[in-house]
Amino acid sequence: MSDDIESRMRAALRPVAPREEFAQKLLAQTIVDPPARSKPRDFTAAKLRPLAWWLTASLAASLVLAVGVHRHLEQQRMQQSGLEARREVLKALRVTSQKLNLAYEAVKSQSEKSGV
Amino acid sequence: MSKYTLTLLIALLAPGLSWAASGPKLTIPSFAGLAQKASESVTITLDPAMLGMAARFLDSNDPQDAATKDVLKGLQGIYVRSYTFDRDSAYSQADIDAVRSQLSAPGWNRLVETRSRKSHADVDIYIMVDHDRAVGLAIIASEPRQFTIVNIVGAIDLDKLHRLEGQFGVPKLDIDASKAAKPAQK
């Protein structure tokens, strides 16, 4: 039984020589097919062109954004420095006036004592 | 005398004073030791660039800011060092002398020297004058728990300072500005 199956399988799977027109059809198909092989090149050119455009646009936008942010931060830093300088000036004048006041009070007190 | 102010005194004495060779900017020591000991310290260094920047942020429509801006116009620097301590005599006379010695240089003139036995506060005011214009001002104030040095460099317009009276705690001094024009020799 098993021998029968085996022999039937062998018969079914035996090497068979191709028919004559097979080689011709295959060759014909191969000649017709070349454009199909060049498809990936089309994909690269056609698909990458908008991608490159978007990439360039994104880079340009990023650059503009970076410059804008930098300028904004620089302005903020300048403003902080300016306000800090203003505070320092007012503080310096306040300390100066306190000491002038101290001297003034002493001079005034001495003048009053001497009855001038 | 009591009606006159330190500002008037400065204005009267200023024209007769001579120009200095040492310059109006003092070399203020770092006072690192004092800063460590102090419970509170104020270190203000305003060079021309900082003063210019500060002036841009003063509002001309605000009277106090406008007056301050006006005062800053001729200034080239404001330097303040002030140290407050928790106990008396935390600083030495040598600390004061380091600055005071510079004020004995030609050009600097002591206008006011006050010694208060009551408050133990000593205040010395020095001025440097060039061509009838004050170009430098120095204040050394030593109190039991506080030591302060102020050095203002540049054309100090006394009339403009006068306009700051009543602001920043500057006493209202009842100065007749016209009297300030009267020259006097030291």
Question: What mean pLDDT, rounded, does chain B reach?
Answer: 78
Give the closest of B46, B56, B139 to A88, CB-based: B46
Amino acid at B80: V
For residue B68, give the chain A residue with the closest CA. A90
As a whole number of angstroms, the distance between CA B116 and CA B114 comes to 6
Give the closest of A81, A86, A101 to B169, CB-based: A101
Give the DSSP per-residue string, chain B.
-TTS-HHHHHHHHGGGPPPPSS-S-------HHHHHH-SEEEEEEE-HHHHHHHHHTS-TTSHHHHHHHHHHTTEEEEEEEEEE-SSTT-S-HHHHHHHHGGGGSTTEEEEEEEE-TTT--EEEEEEEEETTEEEEEEEEEEETTEEEEEEEEEEE-HHHHHHTTTSTT-------GGGGGS----
Query: In total, how many domains does chain B have?
Result: 1
The ipTM (two decimal places) reads 0.75
pTM greater than 0.80: no
Tokens of A12: 């079914």
Contact: A88, B169; criterion CB under 8 Å: no
Poorest-confidence range of A4-13, A18-27, A51-60, B167-176? B167-176
As a whole number of angstroms, the distance between CA B156 and CA B129 comes to 9
**What's residue B54's pLDDT?**
93
As a whole number of angstroms, the distance between CA B10 and CA B152 comes to 14
**What's residue A72's pLDDT?**
96
Q: How many CB atoms lie within 10 A of CB B133?
A: 15
Residue B65 is assigned to a structural domain of this protein? no
As a whole number of angstroms, the distance between CA A23 and CA B92 comes to 112
- Cβ neighbours of A88 in B, within 8 Å: 44, 46, 50, 54
As a whole number of angstroms, the distance between CA B113 and CA B122 comes to 7
Residue B58 is assigned to a structural domain of this protein? no
Residue B11 clears pLDDT 70, i.e. is over it: no
Segments forming the whole domain that contains residue B107: 6-47+76-171
Residue B62 is assigned to a structural domain of this protein? no
**What's residue B174's pLDDT?**
42
Tokens of A88: 């320092």
pLDDT digits (tens, 9 = 90+) for B63-100: 888 888 888 888 999 999 999 999 988 888 888 888 88
As a whole number of angstroms, the distance between CA B118 and CA A114 comes to 16
Residue B147 is assigned to a structural domain of this protein? yes
Which positions 8-37 of B are in contact with A (Cβ < 8 Å)?
A: none
Classify each residue of B73-93 as buried b or exposed e, where b means 16 or more C-beta atoms within 10 Å of its C-beta. Answer: eebbbbbbbbbebeeeebbee
Residue B179 is assigned to a structural domain of this protein? no
pLDDT digits (tens, 9 = 90+) for A20-63: 788 888 888 877 766 555 555 566 777 778 888 999 999 999 99
Q: How many CB atoms lie within 10 A of CB B8?
A: 20
State the best of B6, B75, B152 to mutate against chain A, taking most chain A CBs within 10 Å: B6
pLDDT digits (tens, 9 = 90+) for B33-47: 888 989 999 999 999
Residue B89 is assigned to a structural domain of this protein? yes
Residue B177 is assigned to a structural domain of this protein? no
Residue B186 clears pLDDT 70, i.e. is over it: no
Residue B70 is assigned to a structural domain of this protein? no
Task: Compute the average pLDDT of residues A57-74.
Answer: 95
